[in-house]
C-alpha cells in the first residue's frame, strides 16, 4: 500500500488523542504513511449546529466513562484535562507553521502537545504552552512565536479547515484513505482491515 | 456469568438491527442471557434535542455508507428500507403485549420484524404489517390486534421508555450489563471483552 492515510483531529479532542496513540502502528503494519492533519472541530460544530460530545447532556457523562474505559483497554495513559475543552488554534498554527519544512518534527510537536494535554494537564489552549512545548523540542522561540501570528500560517489553517469540511470530515479522529472515510476510534479496526484486505 | 444483558433498541434503527444480529452469539459465548428491550428513540431525540443520525447533514451520508460497509464486514444481509425511518410504536407494543407470556416468541417476533424491515422492506411502521408478521408466527390475529390498543400494553411501553431514559440510555443499540453501559455496534467488542474478563 503506498497511498497515505489522512488523519484529521482536533488537539482538544480526547478521542482524537486516543486515535493519535494508535494510528501510526496500524499504518506501519501496512507500510502506509499517515498525514497528520489537525483542524478545528469548532468549525464542524458551527456548520452542523452541534457541540462537543463530552459537553452534551446524558451523552457527556457516558463518553467520559467510555474514554476512561477505552484508554484502559488500549493501555493508553489518559485523563480528562482541566480546563477542557480548549481552543486549539495556537497548537494548529504551530503545526502548520512547521509541517512543510520538517514534517517529522511537526508530528513530534503534535504528539508532544497531545500527550502534554491529556497526560500532564498542560493547557495547549494557551499560546505560551504551545511555544514552551516547541522550545523543549529544540525549536527557536522567536521563530515559533512569530509563526503563530504569520498571515500565511493563518491562511494555511483556514484552508485546511475548509478543505476538511469540503471533504465531509466531521469528527475526530477521522480518517480518509482513498475514497473511504472512517469516523472515530471505533472504526480504526475497520480501517486496519481495509488496509489489510484492500476493501470489501 | 449469570447476569443478563439489557439490549435496548428501536425497531427503526439500522445500527440496532445490526446489533440485533450479533448480540445473542456474543452473549451465548459467555453463557449470558439477553433481555431484548425495544423502546422509542424518538423520546431520546425529544429529550436531547437531537435527530436520527441518518437524517443529519454530512453525518447522514457517511452513516449510510458506514452501515453498508459494516453489514458487509459482518456478513449481515441489510439494506436501508423505504420508507425510512418509521414510527415503531406498533412493533414495540406487539412485543410488550407478548413478552411476559412467551419471551422466546416475543424475541422471535422482534427478530422477524427487524429482518422483514431491513431485508425485505416490509414497513414495520404500519400496524397491519406488525399484525401480519405476528400471524405468520402462529399468533392469533384478533388477540394481537387487540393487544396493540390495550391500555396496559400502552402503559408498559411508556414505562419501558421512561425507564430507559432514567437509566441514561440514549441510542440503539445500547447495552447495559451490571453498572456498565455500552453504546453502539462499535462497543460490542468491548462488551464481549467485558463479559470475558469481568471488566478492567
Nearest by CB: B59 against A70, A170, A193: A170
B198 torsion bin: left (phi>0), alpha (psi -120 to 50), beta (else): left
Instruction: Tell me the chain B residues in contact with residue A197 when contact means C-beta distances shorter than 8 Å.
Output: none
Residue A62 cell numbers, joined: 457516558
In Å, how far is B129's CA from the nearest CA of chain A?
34
State whether A48 and B69 contact (CB < 8 Å): no
In Å, how far is B32's CA from the nearest CA of chain A?
22
Largest CA distance in chain B: 50
**Contacting residues for B142 by C-beta, under 8 A, at least 6 apart:** none
Beta partners for residue A8, in sequence order: A37, A174
Instruction: Tell me the chain A residues in contact with residue B168 when contact means C-beta distances shorter than 8 Å.
Output: 58, 61-62
- What does pTM read for this prediction? 0.95
Query: What's the half-sphere exposure (Cβ side, CA atoms, 13 Å) at A130?
Result: 28
Question: What pLDDT does residue A49 have?
Answer: 87
For an interface test with B, the pick among A49, A51, A58, A185 (most B C-beta atoms closer than 10 Å) comes out as A58
Q: Which helix (H) or strand (E) is A175 found in, with range? A: strand A174-177
pLDDT tens track for B124-145: 999 999 999 999 999 999 999 9
pLDDT tens track for B30-45: 999 999 999 999 999 9
Instruction: Tell me the chain A residues in contact with residue B170 when contact means C-beta distances shorter than 8 Å.
Output: 58-59, 62
Question: What pLDDT does residue B12 have?
Answer: 97
For an interface test with A, the pick among B167, B186, B191, B193 (most A C-beta atoms closer than 10 Å) comes out as B186
Segments of chain B scoring below 50 in pLDDT: 1
State whether A181 and B57 contact (CB < 8 Å): no
Distance, CA of B4 to CA of B164 (rounded, Å): 16
CATH number for the domain that contains residue A110: 3.40.30.10
State how many domains chain A has: 1
Instruction: Tell me the chain A residues in contact with residue B56 when contact means C-beta distances shorter than 8 Å.
Output: 48
Closest chain A residue to the Cα of B174, Cα to Cα = A62
In Å, how far is A124's CA from the nearest CA of chain B?
28
Closest to B8 (Cα-Cα) out of B116, B140, B168:
B168
Distance, CA of A9 to CA of A81 (rounded, Å): 17
State whether B58 and A168 contact (CB < 8 Å): yes
Q: Which domain holds residue A126?
A: 5-197
Closest chain A residue to the Cα of B63, Cα to Cα = A183
Question: What pLDDT does residue A1 have?
Answer: 43
Closest chain B residue to the Cα of A188, Cα to Cα = B186
State whether B200 and A69 contact (CB < 8 Å): yes
Q: Other C-beta atoms within 10 Å of B32: how many? A: 18
Residue carrying C-alpha cell 494535554: A117
Instruction: Tell me the chain A residues in contact with residue B181 when contact means C-beta distances shorter than 8 Å.
Output: 62, 65
State whether A170 and B73 contact (CB < 8 Å): no
State whether B190 and A61 contact (CB < 8 Å): no
Q: pLDDT by residue for chain A (200 residues), tens digit each?
A: 458 999 999 999 999 999 999 999 999 999 999 999 999 999 999 988 888 888 899 999 999 999 999 999 999 999 999 999 999 999 999 999 999 999 999 999 999 999 999 999 999 999 999 999 999 999 999 999 999 999 999 999 999 999 999 999 999 999 999 999 999 999 999 999 999 999 99
For an interface test with A, the pick among B19, B58, B76 (most A C-beta atoms closer than 10 Å) comes out as B58
Question: What pLDDT does residue A125 have?
Answer: 97
Phi, psi of A83 (to 5 degrees): -75, 155
Question: What pLDDT does residue B49 have?
Answer: 87
Amino acid at each position: 500500500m503506498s497511498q497515505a492515510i489522512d488523519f484529521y483531529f482536533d488537539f482538544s479532542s480526547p478521542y482524537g488523542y486516543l486515535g493519535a496513540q494508535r494510528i501510526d502502528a496500524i499504518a506501519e503494519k501496512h507500510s502506509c504513511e499517515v498525514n497528520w492533519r489537525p483542524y478545528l472541530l469548532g468549525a464542524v460544530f458551527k456548520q452542523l449546529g452541534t457541540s462537543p460530545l463530552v459537553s452534551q447532556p446524558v451523552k457527556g457523562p457516558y463518553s467520559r466513562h467510555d474514554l476512561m474505559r477505552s484508554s484502559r483497554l488500549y493501555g493508553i495513559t489518559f485523563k480528562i484535562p482541566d480546563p477542557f475543552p480548549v481552543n486549539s488554534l495556537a497548537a494548529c498554527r504551530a503545526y502548520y507553521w512547521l509541517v512543510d519544512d520538517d514534517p517529522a518534527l511537526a508530528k513530534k510537536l503534535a504528539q508532544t502537545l497531545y500527550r502534554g494535554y491529556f497526560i500532564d494537564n498542560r493547557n495547549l489552549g494557551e499560546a505560551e504552552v504551545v511555544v514552551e512545548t516547541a522550545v523543549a523540542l529544540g525549536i527557536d522561540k522567536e521563530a515559533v512565536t512569530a509563526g503563530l501570528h504569520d498571515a500565511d500560517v493563518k491562511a494555511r489553517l483556514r484552508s485546511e479547515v475548509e478543505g476538511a469540511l469540503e471533504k465531509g470530515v466531521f469528527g475526530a479522529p477521522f480518517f480518509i484513505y482513498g475514497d473511504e472515510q472512517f469516523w472515530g476510534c471505533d472504526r480504526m479496526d475497520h480501517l486496519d482491515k481495509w488496509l489489510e484486505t484492500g476493501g470489501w
